[in-house]
Amino acid sequence: MSYFADVFRDLKNFDPNDLTDMDTIGIWPGPVKAIIALFIFIGCGIAGFFLDIQNLQTEIQRVTAEEDTIRVEFEQKAFMAVNLEAYRAQTVEMEESFAQLLRQLPSETEVPGLVDDVTDTGLGSGLDFSNIALAPEGVQEFYIETPIEIDVTGDFHDFGTFVSGVASLDRIVTLHDFSISTRDDSFLNMSILARTYRYKSDEE
């Protein structure tokens, strides 16, 4: 009992104003020092606890964001897996369409025959040819462009029939740079640049 009585007496006789004077810390009663040390210990514990909680919250946010990213990637891959057969079928269809387009592009040896087809189409439309000749080829990244210079004589109806006939050829032929001039008679002179395209081989 005497120990607790001494502690109670020290606390009763302690002036709280001494807490503001750090120079008197050496003469503070032992119980006061113990209580202050306990509060400091508890404060550090609480500060550490909340600091750890904050770090955990940051980690949870990071993991949550990573989980969302993984979930989106999983959903995308799952969708692709479910539609894999449809993608394969679409790829086959695209390859077949590409092959069909390639078949519409004349090879180098077929270009003269294509010129003959254009000529026959013009003659069948009632046009008279004054010139049809191949111009220098233009090399592009995936194909080679072959221009064909054409000069013909006829009327508007013949020109329309000719353009329609060229468009219906099995090979791809495009018409550019139309130039039409009048003559003394009822006919017209037309200059036109036709272009056909062929696939560029690995050697080219």
Domain ranges of the chain: 1-82, 106-199
Report the alpha-carbon distance of residue 80 to residue 85 in Å, rounded.
Answer: 9
- Predicted confidence at residue 68, as pLDDT, reads 83
Mean pLDDT of all residues in 102-121: 74
- Predicted confidence at residue 110, as pLDDT, reads 67
- Predicted confidence at residue 83, as pLDDT, reads 78
- Predicted confidence at residue 151, as pLDDT, reads 93
Give, as one character, the DSSP assignment of residue 45. Answer: H
Mean pLDDT of all residues in 183-192: 85
Query: In the CATH scheme, what is the code of domain 106-199?
Result: 3.30.70.60
Kindly indicate the confidence band of residue 1, based on its pLDDT and cuts at 50, 70 and 90: very low
pLDDT > 80? residue 23: no
Mean pLDDT of all residues in 193-204: 74
Which has the higher per-residue pLDDT, 168 or 141? 168
pLDDT > 60? residue 9: no
Kindly indicate the confidence band of residue 197, based on its pLDDT and cuts at 50, 70 and 90: confident
Rg (CA), the chain: 47
pLDDT > 80? residue 51: no
Our CA dihedral for 58, 64, 69, 75, rounded to 10 degrees, sits at 180
Report the alpha-carbon distance of residue 192 to residue 181 in Å, rounded.
Answer: 12
Give, as one character, the DSSP assignment of residue 182. Answer: E
Any idea which residue has 């696939």 for tokens? 199
Q: Burial, 22: exposed, middle or buried (Cβ in 10 Å; 0-12, 13-18, 19+)? A: exposed
Q: Give the count of alpha carbons within 13 A of 198, CB side only.
A: 16
Taking alpha carbons only, the member of 194, 196, 197 closest to residue 122 is 194
Which has the higher per-residue pLDDT, 154 or 183? 154
Tokens read off for 25: 């810390």
Report the alpha-carbon distance of residue 85 to residue 175 in Å, rounded.
Answer: 41
